[in-house]
Amino acid sequence: MSLMVSISGIRGIVGETLSPEIIKKYCFAFAKYSKFGTIIIGRDGRQSGKEISNTVAKYLTSAGCTVIDLGIVPTPTVQIAVEHLHANGGISITASHNPNQWNGMKFISRTGMFLNADENKIFWDIAENDSIAESEIKGDHVFDASFIERHISAILNLPQINLEQIRNKKFKVALDCVNAAGGIIVPALLEKFGCEIIPINCDVSGIFSHTPEPIPENLTALCDLVKKEKADFGIAVDPDVDRLVLINEFGEPFVEEYTVTSVIDFILNYESKQGRNFGSVAVNLSTTRAVDDVAKKYGAQVFRTAVGEINVATLMKKENCVIGGEGSGGVIFPELHIGRDAIVGIGLFLQYLTESNKSASELKKALPQYFISKGKIDFTTGNANKILKIIEEKYCAENITTIDGVKIDFADSWVHLRASNTEPIIRIIAEAKSIALANSLVDIFKTELTSHF
């Protein structure tokens, strides 16, 4: 297994592919890229995080940077801090949804957004080609524990949020934060909203109680808890709290695609009520067509781009989108900041649920109904791009998009095949009007891809 280097930063196995030498290389490069200024750092709470955080701070300060350390915080909290403190950049020490033996670094520009493709090219060139010496004058390493509360306060002060109205609902919420950064901020947020919280895996020990990616097969304990405690709904987040997954009152997945769809519906409706021209929405290629149906209802335009937060965020900024995100449960609300943020997603969903006077399951049923199926195959022994080119040529008579792998749009369904930015796999995502057809499309293309290795 090699170090994963992508637009999403770097990830590797701690002590193996993510070694102190690798951390030093990328810290020194980021120090130079950031003009040896102030760098914000934070970590997702996994067990290796504290040691790596101290190592990152050591190398950045030895290069002459000032380091402001937020401790255990969500990645979006680091992004907000970079923006609010006018820092030169930020590093979130996280491997996102990867297992505990992994860790990594997500690099944040002075805008509070991740480095885009052009910025990464400059950064990677520095990392590979520049020799950077330690500074004679060491930078300071200071701690700032205020940004959890500042993040929460920013959400409570959004004009779309009616705190008293939500508090009157007295929602009962089951919660799974996989013993990582969400275990600090999510209960604090829900308490502000007057929710009764039934938590599991919120001790921030960094010991993941299950595979940390918040997908249905990893959330059976949360689903059971919702049913047992008769909760109004359940919440799950990934270790660095940029993805929000919901469970309805029957202990069934709300489906992460519909996290984004529901929030888009809420914000477009809010903009409509304000009498504003609410403009446009941006999502990635793998996000449900339900977004298009919702946007059409309000006369809003939908833009689609390659998978990856920075790709969606960059497009949102360019097109002045009011809302967007990724179908994996990544809500991006630029009024707060242009980055995926489970915390703002929770606030907006609570307001949507409150105003709807529906249960979570009823709210989901009121949205356009599609079914997504996902699969993957390992490509460590083959050339992913070559194989995807074969698929593209075979289906050239269909509506093909190739800005990120190959997406094939059929009349009533679609399939998206792409090499992951974070793992050595080809992801297969299919959507149709029935789960049977979506599953069938995944199986068909899994067989096709495998046949070419």
Cβ 87 vs Cβ 39: under 8 Å: yes
- DSSP count for the chain of H helices, then E strands: 15, 21
Residue 451, classified by CB atoms within 10 Å of its CB into exposed (0-12), middle (13-18) or buried (19+), is: exposed
Q: Is the dihedral of CA 333, 339, 345, 346 positive or negative?
A: negative
> ∠68-142-73 over CA atoms, to 5°?
50
Tell me the C-alpha distance between 117 and 354, whole Å. 40
Cβ-proximal residues to 142 (8 Å cutoff; 6+ apart), any chain: 66, 67, 68, 69
CA distance 325 to 338: 10
- Of 339, 323, 254, whose CA–CA distance to 283 is shortest? 323
Secondary element (H or E) of residue 90:
strand 89-93
Q: Which residues lie below 8 Å from residue 109, measured CB to CB, with a gap of 6+? A: 82, 89, 115, 116, 119
Short-list 152, 192, 198, 194, CA closest to 173: 198
Q: What count of Cα atoms within 13 Å lies in the side-chain half-sphere of residue 138? A: 8
Return the beta strands (E) in 29-83 as ranges: 38-43, 66-72
If 0-12 CB within 10 Å is exposed, 13-18 middle and 19+ buried, where does residue 47 land?
Answer: middle
Are 338 and 113 contacting, i.e. CB atoms less than 8 angstroms apart?
Answer: yes
Please count the other Cβ atoms lying within 10 Å of the Cβ belonging to residue 327: 25
Query: 96, 109, 373, 413: which is the annotated catalytic residue?
Result: 96
The CA distance from 105 to 434, in Å, is: 39
Q: Is 96 a catalytic residue?
A: yes
Distance CA(51)–CA(47), nearest Å, equals: 9
**Catalytic sites, residue numbers:** 96
